[in-house]
Structure 1
Amino acid sequence: MTTVTIEDAFTELYGAGPEGVWAAPGRVNLIGEYTDFNDGFVMPLALPHTAVAAVSRRTDGVLRVHSADVSQGVVQLRLDALEPLSDTGWAAYPAGVVWALREAGHPVTGADIHLSSTVPTGGGLSSSAALEVVTATALNDLYELGLSASQLAVLAQRAENDFVGVPCGIMDQMASACCTEGNALYLDTRDLSQRQVPFDLAAQGLQLLVVDTRVKHALGDGAYAERRAGCEAGARALGVRALRDVPYAELPSALERLADEGENVRRYVRHVVSDDHRVEQVIALLDAGDVRAVGPVLVEGHVSLRDDLRVSCPELDLVVSSATAAGALGARMTGGGFGGSAIVLVEEATAAVVSKAVTEAFAAAGHTAPRIFPAVPSQGARRVA
């Protein structure tokens, strides 16, 4: 059986070979959820699953994009006609990046792009950020723009915020662009300062499992924007630039000052300030080499996401309860919630037992069987051919 390469597919689509091939990964977030749009701290790691793009330049102001994963032909767009919030479906992600680059004054004159991705869609693993970052990385190289990985991430975020219309923070794009193999990325989302934190679980006899619940609840529609607005209202009421400026030690008094802001705002503030603190706890534990002690912090994070932010769902809660009951060191939902994925920290020797327990719990509850795989800290965006 002959394997068709992405270069072959590009050639068949566009009549000539690509100038190069690039890859950008999806991500899971170890800790720090809904903190990135509050100028807070996050700690994602890149997955081995990637969006791959074969790309060539054009000089006629035309963008042609095709996805091997969507049953649709080549989408052709004129660069001078790209409009934010226009309905271009999946193609809005690469098109938005081209738009953002041109809006920033970069001389992009067109491109032919063929995409293929192994990042699970709808799993909360940043499949959209991977599409954006791989497009930005390829065009940066081909047009010799000289932009850093962080700068590309900011432009990719602008594409998603302003062109696609999703008010996401910067974490997903920074993770896809800047993560390195074997490390988690400790990121300050205010100034984008970062530190690569060694995260070699195998050396400790551990594994981090991703459990993709394969569900996405409609309740999530608009809920992200509502929580973002609530966090911003809390910051205004407390007189701070962002919730990251509320010290954890002062959280009780801050919540008292928010008595008139409504219960939702108080809960959102409690989650964000405490989750920033949990990131700092995890950093200290990893620096001390005490990886197993991270487990209970993950569970605390899940409880906060479930009870204060209220972005969990029965399937995600079942992952956490069944995994911990089967001996996992800790677990929590990761990503935006209302479905998607959870992470589970396990002893390598018990990974199969925990996976089986979660799968059986899903079957007993009548849920679709989850997809479970290990999260291996992988390389961020790069040229591969």
Structure 2
Amino acid sequence: MNQDTLNLTQHSANDINIHAMSQSVTQSDILAQLEQAFVQHFGYAAQQVCHAPGRVNLIGDHTDYNGGFVLPAAINFGTWVAGHTRNDRIINVVALDCAGERVSFSLDNISFDEVSPWSNYVRGSLIALVKALPDFGGADLVVKGNVPRGAGLSSSASFEVVILKTMAALYDLPLSGEQAALMGQQAENEFVGCNCGIMDQMISAMGKQHNAMLLDCRSLEIQYARMPEDLAIIIVNSNVKRGLVDSEYNTRRGQCEQAAAFLGKASLRDVTLAELNAAKAELEPVLYRRAHHVISESIRTCDMLAALNRHDMAEISALMAQSHRSLKNDFEVTTSQLDILVSLLADKLGEHGGARMTGGGFGGCVVALTERSHVDKVLATLAEDYHAATGLKADIYLCHAVDGAFVAV
């Protein structure tokens, strides 16, 4: 069995939806669709086609904006943009996944779009690019993606990074991966209105094939961990939809800042578990729990890097279970459906793999790591039990780690 195929004979289409890039739409298919759509909308051929991947965070959630550690992998689902320069300052963007909706605006007058909110990721990213590298002009762009929106796999960061990568390619701008990540984060924080950390944009820009990436969100130092050949990444969308900007994500960030300030530190990165526990009696219980998750999660994330390098499945399983319990009890961002998914997976996998909620929470996805020989067992569990317990169908994404943003054509 390769990285994207499995035996489907025992699973009913009524119970489970399975997505694997190599089984349906290939990269060449997407390139052909984009190039054809570009000609249809603009009447001439695109100059460049760029790609930026989505991501799954293997462990380390809500640590990034606290200056801690995260361990994501870029995945083989992402966003594609075909583009061509213009001789003026106009940006035209066609979103194929939004029924071919088209927006136009000038680089000299970028304002928030209430009518087509998807375009704000483009607008915010270009505001950041104009400030840093203003020597570029307009462009005609066609966008297509296959990262499920609202699932916690970072479709927004993929979108931001690929827009920046495309403009840099079209105008030969000296834009590094780290710069693109920081600009995407700026767009999200200052224009879109979500106080996300740097993880999503950094892994989309700087991912490495067959590797997970340990990111120090304070220093932006990167270490890569080779993913063992027989280790499968299985992403399970609970299909509990969430809106990150409108959720309690920003509330959680504020609580972390309050806890750090109470402890006299710039961020929770500067607080040890011993210091937190010493102040437990004086700290509001909810702030203690939030801080306890963040501090312990960063420790688990560094331990996970070592466990991956050792291919220690028992330790990987234990760390992922601890992470989910912390997200449930201390950070309170799981849902009953996510908890059910993790419990079902953990019961079947035992020490042969782990499962945990991934992403911002309040819905979205669970990630499981296991040997490929256990993949069918995972799918059978979901087909038999998840729908019966929740009334929902799970979407399964069979993934592998890929490179960050690149110019495809």
Match 1:210 to one of 230, 235, 258: 235
Deviation of 1:52 (Å): 0.5
2: distance between equivalents of 1:8 and 1:36? Answer: 39
Could you tell which deviates more after superposition, 219-228 or 121-130? Answer: 219-228
Match of 2:354 in 1: 330
Asked whether the equivalents of residues 95 and 142 of structure 2 are also in contact (C-alpha less than 8 Å), the reply is: yes
Is the aligned partner of 1:361 residue 2:388? no
Match 1:239 to one of 246, 258, 264: 264
Q: Trace 1:154-193 onto structure 2 (pairs within 5 A).
A: 154-193=182-221
Q: Trace 1:1-385 onto structure 2 (pairs within 5 A).
A: 4-84=32-112, 88-202=116-230, 206-217=231-242, 221-258=246-283, 262-328=284-350, 329-385=353-409
Could you tell which deviates more after superposition, 22-31 or 99-108? Answer: 99-108
3-state DSSP of counterpart to 2:329: helix
2: distance between equivalents of 1:217 and 1:141? Answer: 33
2: distance between equivalents of 1:178 and 1:4? Answer: 26
Could you tell which deviates more after superposition, 33-42 or 213-222? Answer: 213-222
Asked whether the equivalents of residues 323 and 354 of structure 1 are also in contact (C-alpha less than 8 Å), the reply is: yes
Decide whether aligned partners of structure 1 residues 309 and 99 sit closer, same or farther in structure 2, where only a CA change above 3 A counts. same
Q: Which runs of 5+ in 1 are unaligned?
A: none
Asked whether the equivalents of residues 273 and 292 of structure 2 are also in contact (C-alpha less than 8 Å), the reply is: no
Decide whether aligned partners of structure 1 residues 149 and 220 sit closer, same or farther in structure 2, where only a CA change above 3 A counts. closer
Asked whether the equivalents of residues 209 and 375 of structure 1 are also in contact (C-alpha less than 8 Å), the reply is: yes
Asked whether the equivalents of residues 44 and 185 of structure 1 are also in contact (C-alpha less than 8 Å), the reply is: yes
1: distance between equivalents of 2:242 and 2:167? Answer: 35
Deviation of 1:314 (Å): 1.2
Could you tell which deviates more after superposition, 304-313 or 327-336? Answer: 327-336
| AA aligned opposite 1:317 | D
2: distance between equivalents of 1:217 and 1:139? Answer: 30
Deviation of 1:291 (Å): 4.0
Asked whether the equivalents of residues 97 and 159 of structure 1 are also in contact (C-alpha less than 8 Å), the reply is: yes
2: distance between equivalents of 1:84 and 1:105? Answer: 21
After superposition, the C-alpha distances for 1:187-246 in whole angstroms (9 at most, x for unaligned) are 0111211111111241xxx32211011222579833000000000011111111110111
| AA aligned opposite 2:398 | P
Deviation of 1:14 (Å): 0.9
Asked whether the equivalents of residues 157 and 204 of structure 2 are also in contact (C-alpha less than 8 Å), the reply is: yes
1: distance between equivalents of 2:201 and 2:100? Answer: 26
| AA aligned opposite 1:361 | D
> What is the TM-score when the length of structure 2 is the normalising length?
0.88
3-state DSSP of counterpart to 1:240: coil
Deviation of 1:280 (Å): 1.4
Deviation of 1:288 (Å): 3.1
Asked whether the equivalents of residues 120 and 127 of structure 1 are also in contact (C-alpha less than 8 Å), the reply is: yes
Deviation of 1:324 (Å): 1.2
Deviation of 1:345 (Å): 2.1
Asked whether the equivalents of residues 85 and 163 of structure 1 are also in contact (C-alpha less than 8 Å), the reply is: no
Give me the CA root mean square deviation: 2.0
Q: Which runs of 5+ in 2 are unaligned?
A: 1-28
Decide whether aligned partners of structure 1 residues 365 and 336 sit closer, same or farther in structure 2, where only a CA change above 3 A counts. same
2: distance between equivalents of 1:319 and 1:81? Answer: 46
1: distance between equivalents of 2:188 and 2:303? Answer: 31
After superposition, the C-alpha distances for 1:314-335 in whole angstroms (9 at most, x for unaligned) are 1110111111112252210000
Q: What is the percentage of aligned positions where both structures have the same residue?
A: 37
Deviation of 1:94 (Å): 1.5
Asked whether the equivalents of residues 93 and 159 of structure 1 are also in contact (C-alpha less than 8 Å), the reply is: yes
Decide whether aligned partners of structure 1 residues 4 and 150 sit closer, same or farther in structure 2, where only a CA change above 3 A counts. closer
After superposition, the C-alpha distances for 1:126-146 in whole angstroms (9 at most, x for unaligned) are 011111000111111222221
Deviation of 1:85 (Å): 7.2
2: distance between equivalents of 1:314 and 1:94? Answer: 34
Decide whether aligned partners of structure 1 residues 100 and 217 sit closer, same or farther in structure 2, where only a CA change above 3 A counts. closer
2: distance between equivalents of 1:219 and 1:99? Answer: 22
| AA aligned opposite 1:112 | D
3-state DSSP of counterpart to 2:97: coil
Decide whether aligned partners of structure 1 residues 86 and 324 sit closer, same or farther in structure 2, where only a CA change above 3 A counts. same
1: distance between equivalents of 2:135 and 2:371? Answer: 50
| AA aligned opposite 1:215 | V
Match of 2:11 in 1: none
Asked whether the equivalents of residues 194 and 245 of structure 2 are also in contact (C-alpha less than 8 Å), the reply is: no
Asked whether the equivalents of residues 157 and 168 of structure 1 are also in contact (C-alpha less than 8 Å), the reply is: yes
Asked whether the equivalents of residues 25 and 176 of structure 1 are also in contact (C-alpha less than 8 Å), the reply is: yes
Asked whether the equivalents of residues 149 and 177 of structure 1 are also in contact (C-alpha less than 8 Å), the reply is: yes
1: distance between equivalents of 2:334 and 2:390? Answer: 18
| AA aligned opposite 2:167 | L
Q: How many residues align?
A: 379
Deviation of 1:250 (Å): 3.6
> What is the TM-score when the length of structure 1 is the normalising length?
0.93
